[in-house]
Structure 1
Amino acid sequence: MTRARLSSQPLRHLQDRIATALITAGGIGVLLAVLGIGVFLLWEAAPLLLDEELGSLSMLTPLAWGTLKAALMALLFALPLALGAAAYSAFFMSPRLRSRIKPTLEMMEAIPGVVVGFIAGMVLAPWVERHLASTLVVIVWLPLSAGLAGMLWHLASRHWQRRLPLSWAALWLIPWLVAMGMLALWSTPLVEQALWGGDLRRYLYDAFGLDYMTRNALIVGLAMGFAVIPSVYSLAEDALNEVPRPLMEGAQALGASRWQAVIKVALAAAGPGLFSAVMIGAGRAVGETMIVLMASSNTALLSASPFEGMRTMAAAIAIELPEATVGGVTYRMLVLAALVLFLFTFFVNTLAEVVRQRLRRRYQRMGGGA
């Protein structure tokens, strides 16, 4: 038996070396492929960058503005929901409920962007155009109604708090939010008459000169935010869940409530991880193509209005590159836009990884100190 074990050791060492060599070759291959993409884009865009007459680069300004505008609208919608859901599921939600809801939210990331864009462009955009005031009232009222529910729960008696535990709020809040949404829709005509003279779109045009387009930045923000939420939630929840429990227990032992421990201890400890999640979400929003193509008007406008359209760099590449002549000015402009997106994505991912490694070292020091 001893001889058989000794004879099998060289074979195991050989298998380990082969596996190590394959993993190393795969990693180096990925790095070379990424480097090759960057070199190719830089080579193709070099004639345009070296041209003394850089006036044509001003054509990228509306595309860059549209890219940032779409990403900002998506993050404004996605970050409060994703980070709030991550904090709740990491520290307040029942483990049984968390084991079902967390995988469901993570599976939302598998929904193709073209499906989200189709629903946003064909269903959401016409509905919002017909019910613009109702949409704005619902967007404002639902967060306030959630806060109202929390205040009522805090003021309720122990009997009702036991019947409606905070750990299961993700379920009993659903009928409350549905009722509040119906209340908002019912009261919209009264609100529109009181605040905007009965016609919100005319009020926006007369007061601010804002014209409403069917497919605009608001629609893109709602649709793209829906697509960004799963990735931000998953990364943020993992970062919060990895916060050492002795830190939370120590804060509560010193007299802090669970909410105070979350705000002052957990968020500070998981800050780098949360920042990494936000950066990954921003990278996804900047590089999204199909949702912007189908949910926006694809008009290159330098406008900050959420009710007007835009054209992003990724959308411009998808639309114009098949018809661009190789070597022409339009082709090189599109390649330059791709190079800008590539550098931004590379920078965001690198920054997120650096922050993640810093978070891991911080946790290791905390664990060693404990």
Structure 2
Amino acid sequence: MAHPEVSARSLFGKLWYEGTAEPSYVYQSSAGEDTSEIKYSLVPLVFGTIKATVFAMLFAVPLAVLAAIYTSEFMDKHVRRAVKPTIEMMASLPSVVLGFVAAIVVAPLVRDILPTVLMSFFVVPLGMLLAAYAWQLIPPHATRKVRSGVKLALMFIVAAGSLALAASAGPAAERALFKPSERERWVMGGSFEPVNDTERPAWLGNLKSLSSEQQRRLRVENDLFFQDGKVVRAVAPSDARKIEIDTILAGSEAAAPSIRTWLDGGFGGPWPGWVLVLIGPVAVVLSVLNAKFVSRAFHEKLLHLPRLTAALGETARFVLLIGATLGVSAGVAALLSGAGFDPRDSVFGSFNQRNTLVVGIIMGFAVIPIIYTISEDALSSVPDSLRSASLGSGATPWQTAVRIVMPVAASGIFSAVMIGFGRAAGETMIVVMATGNTATMKWNVFEGFRTLSATIAVELPEAPVGSAHFRVLFLCGLVLFAMTFILNTTAEAVRQHFRKRSAAL
């Protein structure tokens, strides 16, 4: 063989490398010593490409599609002529500029105000929805006098107010949820005792230092702690000693509530993390169940009530849905925590400044103009006769947009999403500049990754022509081509299905 270090198994299978505890997927094209083995598994690179694309699309698709619906169905034509070209101009921003902004501006900002950033993902949509429900309480003769440009300005004001609320609610939630437990505070304050060697967990062996993950495992599985190089047990202090511990820890940065310390496994249990993970999915599930089983009967009862009373009823139902979301999320989080599951072993983990969250946000902004433009064109191309028929039958503008216009334009919207997906999958410079380029295989949103395209861009100039490394990089390009080809072929089949369904219209 011309290149014995490369085979199908080494490229796509797990191998047991020297010095590792188990077989794994590893990509390491260079090493500090000539004796080290080069590893060319492409699986971490494929995983990184998928991870980057998924998080970017989670951020971009809702914003782009909802913006397209608003501009095509609700915005005044004169305002639309200014707004649409402005959003489309975002597509002209070079990727290297976006990557530079991500690395120099966004990443440090996210690091410094992480609680605010995470809280804004919940508070901003919630604030916009509450403002929409409050708008229903205004008499129709007053809302009809408000111009489209003023409505758009009001939306920006609500969004800015929601961000300001998130800026105060985020640190408050951090102080309330992401803090050391009582027993952890005892140990930090010096109220502990060493354990005997017979009580020392067998998996520790003779380790003299532990990583944050190992210390978390020690706390969860054995209710023990690692302090000053020793395995210790927390000892309940007296009341006077508790006051002394509180005084000692009052100015201690290690004991201060911190979501980043919690992510690194420094203290805290899994419950607050599960709540953070579950709020979004639970809200979606409850909203779907509410629309399917409750909305129709509820709306029938509202038909016979005065408009203001009906609007108050809708607002009250939305507030109850928010309460139910929080309650169910907290309950499921308690069940998962009690079963021994920790989100820091899956979607969360150690915090790195250049991480998936930053890339998802910036890459999402790069993809939004493409999805928005094609979706808006597809929605605008729906015949006005369908809108008029729907409105004449008594449907509201929102019902018309969601139940009539969107199904007809579904093939165009789906095409827009797939084109955006392909754009995100092939992105290079944002990934190179905004991630640590570490070929890991974890879904941790606060950790970096490495993609196929970034690997080609970084390593191809240094790879000797004709070498195994050189050929592996070309194989990376072929794999990326195969991924996008399969995706686009599947998308075209789905698009044709949607198109045939609405062809009669």
Asked if these proteins are the same fold (TM beyond 0.5), I'd say yes
Q: Which residue of the partner structure matches residue 333 of structure 1?
A: 472
Contact 2:98 2:362 in 1 (8 A): yes
Contact 2:65 2:375 in 1 (8 A): yes
Q: Which residue of the partner structure matches residue 300 of structure 1?
A: 439
Match for 1:339: what amino acid? L
Query: Distance in 2 between the 1:162 and 1:297 partners?
Result: 52
Q: Which residue of the partner structure matches residue 98 of structure 1?
A: 80
Out of 261-270 and 188-197, give the one that drifted further.
188-197
Task: Pick one of 59, 82, 107 that aligns with 1:77.
Answer: 59
Q: Quick check: 1:227 aligned with 2:366?
A: yes
Q: Which residue of the partner structure matches residue 397 of structure 2?
A: 258
Q: Quick check: 1:201 aligned with 2:201?
A: no
Superposition TM-score, scaled by structure 2 size: 0.59
Trace 1:112-123 onto structure 2 (pairs within 5 A): 112-123=94-105
- Backbone CA RMSD of aligned residues: 2.3
Query: Distance in 2 between the 1:269 and 1:358 partners?
Result: 12
Task: Pick one of 181, 198, 210 that aligns with 2:163.
Answer: 181
Trace 1:48-87 onto structure 2 (pairs within 5 A): 53-58=8-13, 59-87=41-69
Q: Deviations over 1:57-86 (max 9, x none)?
A: 341110000000000110000000000000
Q: Quick check: 1:137 aligned with 2:103?
A: no
Query: Distance in 2 between the 1:180 and 1:364 partners?
Result: 42
Q: Deviations over 1:266-291 (max 9, x none)?
A: 11111111110000000000000000
Task: Pick one of 106, 128, 133 that aligns with 2:110.
Answer: 128
Q: Which residue of the partner structure matches residue 8 of structure 1?
A: none
Superposition TM-score, scaled by structure 1 size: 0.80
Larger gyration radius, structure 1 or structure 2? 2
Q: Cα distance, 1:156 vs. partner?
A: 2.0
Query: Distance in 2 between the 1:260 and 1:359 partners?
Result: 20
Contact 1:145 1:180 in 2 (8 A): yes
Unaligned runs of 5+ in 2: 14-40, 180-256, 271-343
Match for 2:454: what amino acid? A
Query: Distance in 1 between the 2:488 and 2:48 partners?
Result: 21
Query: Distance in 2 between the 1:135 and 1:268 partners?
Result: 34
Q: Quick check: 1:283 aligned with 2:265?
A: no
**Percent identity over the alignment?**
42
Q: 1:365 to 1:167 in 2, by over 3 A?
A: farther
Q: Which residue of the partner structure matches residue 353 of structure 2?
A: 214
Q: Which has a greater percent of helix? A: 1
Out of 198-207 and 136-145, give the one that drifted further.
198-207
Q: Deviations over 1:209-260 (max 9, x none)?
A: 5100000000000000000000000000011111121122212222211111
Query: Distance in 2 between the 1:293 and 1:53 partners?
Result: 27
Q: Cα distance, 1:166 vs. partner?
A: 6.0
Q: Which residue of the partner structure matches residue 237 of structure 1?
A: 376
Query: Distance in 1 between the 2:443 and 2:153 partners?
Result: 37
Q: 1:104 to 1:124 in 2, by over 3 A?
A: same
SS at 2:453's partner residue? helix
Query: Distance in 2 between the 1:361 and 1:199 partners?
Result: 54
Query: Distance in 2 between the 1:134 and 1:364 partners?
Result: 47
Query: Distance in 2 between the 1:352 and 1:165 partners?
Result: 39
Q: Cα distance, 1:204 vs. partner?
A: 2.5
Query: Distance in 2 between the 1:137 and 1:163 partners?
Result: 35
Q: Which residue of the partner structure matches residue 71 of structure 2?
A: 89
